[in-house]
């Protein structure tokens, strides 16, 4: 009987930890059934080794990203404190955006990071499989980096105005 309980405990432990290391799906849908996150395992920048995200890491990114956007919005308000009438044109509501997550290992620090690119308009569905980069476009496009090893976020900013 003790052996059966021990085996069940081990199996339970293994199945609980499996979700922590199980690779995430490529596309994540919102409550409307629309793909709103694409996880792309290509990262073309020097100093980065492409990798994948686990389901748990996607949850971490999704928990950190609203904090990054909140800070970005506060920073925008500070930069444009003399023109509060412009705030609605600059502030970001994260729920209005599709996202691309580009996970990589930073070769210098050996830490896992995710470059996050968000946008409110896309011409077609290629964004689900290819990097989507736009010059200008204002607050319809923003990006930044989340360090999964430290939980910190950096360089979140909107694009330049149109």
- What are the structure tokens assigned to 27, written together? 């596309």
The pLDDT score that the predictor gives to residue 7 is: 36
Is residue 155 very low, low, confident or very high in pLDDT (cuts 50, 70, 90)? very high
**Structural domain boundaries enclosing 151:** 23-158
Decide: 89 and 38 in contact? Cβ < 8 Å.
no
9 located within any domain: no
The pLDDT score that the predictor gives to residue 20 is: 63
1 located within any domain: no
Mean of per-residue pLDDT scores for the chain: 83
> Which DSSP string corresponds to 20-47?
HHSBPPSEEE-TTS-EEEEE-----STT
- Name the residue with higher pLDDT: 114 or 84: 114
83 located within any domain: yes
Name the nearest CA neighbour of 38 among 91, 114, 92, 106: 114
39 located within any domain: yes
5 located within any domain: no
Cβ neighbours, 10 Å, residue 62: 15
Looking at the DSSP assignment, which residues form a beta bridge with residue 116? 101, 144
Q: 113-144 pLDDT, tens per residue?
A: 999 999 998 888 999 998 877 777 778 899 99
Q: Is the pLDDT of residue 12 over 60?
A: no
- Name the residue with higher pLDDT: 80 or 144: 144
Q: Is the pLDDT of residue 1 over 60?
A: no
Number of domains forming the structure of the chain: 1
34 located within any domain: yes
41 located within any domain: yes
The pLDDT score that the predictor gives to residue 11 is: 39
15 located within any domain: no
Q: 85-109 pLDDT, tens per residue?
A: 776 677 889 999 999 999 999 999 9
Residues in CB range of 156: below 8 A, 6 or more apart:
68, 69, 71, 72, 116, 142, 143, 144
Decide: 93 and 4 in contact? Cβ < 8 Å.
no
């Amino acid at each position: 009987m003790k052996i059966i309980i021990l085996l069940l405990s081990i199996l339970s432990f293994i199945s609980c930890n499996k979700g922590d290391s199980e690779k995430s799906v490529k596309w994540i849908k919102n409550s409307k059934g629309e793909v709103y996150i694409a996880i792309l395992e290509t990262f073309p920048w020097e100093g980065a080794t492409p990798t994948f995200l686990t389901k748990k890491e996607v949850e971490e990114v999704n928990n950190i990203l609203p904090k990054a956007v909140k800070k970005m919005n506060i920073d925008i308000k500070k930069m444009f404190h003399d023109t509060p009438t412009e705030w609605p044109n600059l502030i970001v509501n994260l729920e209005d955006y599709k996202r691309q997550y580009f996970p990589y290992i930073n070769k210098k620090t050996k830490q896992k990071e995710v470059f996050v690119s968000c946008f409110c308009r896309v011409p077609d569905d290629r964004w689900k499989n290819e990097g989507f980069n736009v010059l200008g476009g204002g607050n319809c496009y923003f990006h930044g980096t989340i360090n999964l090893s430290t939980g910190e976020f950096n360089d979140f900013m909107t694009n330049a105005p149109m």
